[in-house]
Amino acid sequence: MEFLDLPPMLGAAGTVRLPGSKSISNRVLLLAALAQGETDIRDLLLSDDVERMLEALRALGVDWQRAGDSLNYRVRGVGGPFPVKHGDLFLGNAGTAFRPLTAALALSGGEYRLSGVPRMHERPIGDLVDALRQLGADITCTANEGYPPLQLKPATIRPGGVVRVRGDVSSQFLTALLMALPLTGVETTIEVVGELISKPYIRITLELMARFGVEVRQQGWERFVVPGGARYRSPGTVFVEGDASSASYFLAAGAIGGGPVRVEGVGTASIQGDVRFAEALEQLGARITTGDNWIEAAAPASGVLKAFDLDLNHIPDAAMTLAVAALFADGPCRLRNIASWRVKETDRIAAMAIELRKVGAEVEEGADYLVVKRPHALRPAAIDTYDDHRMAMCFSLVSLGACRVRINDPKCVNKTFPGYFDVFSGIACPVPVVAIDGPSASGKGTVAARVAEALGWHYLDSGSLYRLTALAALRAGVALDDEAGVAALAGALPARFEGGRVLLDGDDVTDEIRSETCSVGASKVAALAAVRAALFDRQRDYRAAPGLIAEGRDMGSVIFPDAGTKVFLTASAEARAGRRYKQLMEKGLPANMESLLKDLQERDARDAARPVAPLVKLPDAVLLDTTERNVDEAVAFVLDLVEAGWKSSG
């Protein structure tokens, strides 16, 4: 499975231009297809869900054209039911395409098969099918009653009168009926049975229908009257707003990560209900400012979000972001009236509970609610996304808790927001890392420790971890070529670094691990893939605010490939042997210059040739040759590189 590793972030700030709304994009496409005349659609969302709708419309005889590589489309409406009367349509997991097309095709007098991905076949559609059958539609659920795939056949439609549909499962059922009923030409009343959820999405539907010339008479949220003789007519040009649900991730990032973060494309003039996510954030203490076409969020003055207990029925998609924001609140948080999560791209209540527990939260899961209590400290975790774009985007926010996180199947965001992680990285600031590598005895450890001290950053001597592993193996009587045995020791290595000392199970082994025996042993165990894997996450967890100086063989290539500064520190073998000789003599240890030089040359050759993490200078690393430089000069060189990096990043 593909994955994306997000490093711990220091904070978030910046401006984001939102992609178009999925809900508006697919509604506008269908209305433009059914309307008389040509419609120019500006800023359409380019995503998997919209692609499925575009493909279906073309298969049904609707002519549309894209203007070059832009997000502008021209749709030539068919002025009524679809002209193509036979079709086999695959709609992926696009509910905003599947449900409305089901209703429109049921009233088009043709024979059609509608299917999707396996998850779509688990999402209920029975209430919409039942409502359409009340009109005389001939619809068969070909696998399980109440679920796709569907087979639609020509039928005698009995328009007019009253059609009843449940409103407490998905508002998309009511949306589908509202948009399709003008095709009958007869006044029809829709009665909603039960509480209507996600009312703001119905407002979007009614607003867009009105733009296309059909005014629905609304009697509260219980009855909707679609007028007789109404026909869709193109309004000429329609602009698609930015996606308010997608805005939630960036607004939450501003509230969690300091901010301010501004989203452009939605604001006080928006027709989308999810703009009210900003109101929810404000109740959590976030500082919110708004304009007609933008919203901005910054962290509370206290720096910590307030615990909340909220009914979130009106913003079900954006509410998912609050479940992750609860990880940063000052007490337990309750999300209520979210039963619709159960029938989305995945069972989002169950999925959210599972993944929140992975990062350390205590979670109580109910039929229509979640209670989330933050952990003392977030735990790094690999987040499963269930082919659900919102799971992937929500859990990117965990990285703002000084915690690395892995997002499995990150491309699932293509459903609504291709490029999401690139945009997120544009506002989130990762904990900086300086990776310093080089051959043995080149002075990289001394330089790295001095640079860390000068900056006040954390320090990782990865070589010591391998030396400690070798020492632990020698003490335990485990052969250094016993890969499984050494890896088991490495995975549970009781190692600490305190005040310049290296401790193994409480014993000060600072000097012992620098012996030639441990040096040779470290080189051997470091060549074992299982040992490197066991130490992989241990090393990554040294990355913490305000920054990290990481010294060692694969720091810049494997452990921290995103390190902002990479240095390959080297010197001639003769110079390095001389330094090692001096160190050993100062410690009163026996040393032979000729032997040291030979050992270094052999180790260089072995390190350069080994298949796992060979000693090479990375293409993006800066070469620092210290043959003719002292330690102070080398430290100043690295500090200058770090400062230059700060300036270039703004």
Taking alpha carbons only, the member of 361, 372, 199 closest to residue 284 is 372
Q: How many CB atoms lie under 10 A from the CB of residue 309?
A: 13
Q: Token match 């990289």: residue? A: 444
CB of 257 closer than 8 Å to CB of 11: yes
Residue type at 135?
L
What DSSP assignment string belongs to 436-491? EE-STTSSHHHHHHHHHHHHT-EEEEHHHHHHHHHHHHHHHT--TT-HHHHHHHHH
CB of 170 closer than 8 Å to CB of 340: yes
Taking alpha carbons only, the member of 221, 291, 211, 230 closest to residue 15 is 291
What DSSP assignment string belongs to 42-61? ES---SHHHHHHHHHHHHTT
49, 243, 274, 317: the active-site residue? 317
Cα(459)–Cα(467) distance, integer angstroms? 16
Cα(398)–Cα(330) distance, integer angstroms? 16
Two tokens, residue 552: 């060692």
Cα(318)–Cα(278) distance, integer angstroms? 10
317 is an active site residue: yes
Taking alpha carbons only, the member of 358, 345, 343 closest to residue 389 is 345
CB of 5 closer than 8 Å to CB of 406: yes
Q: Annotated active-site positions, please?
A: 317
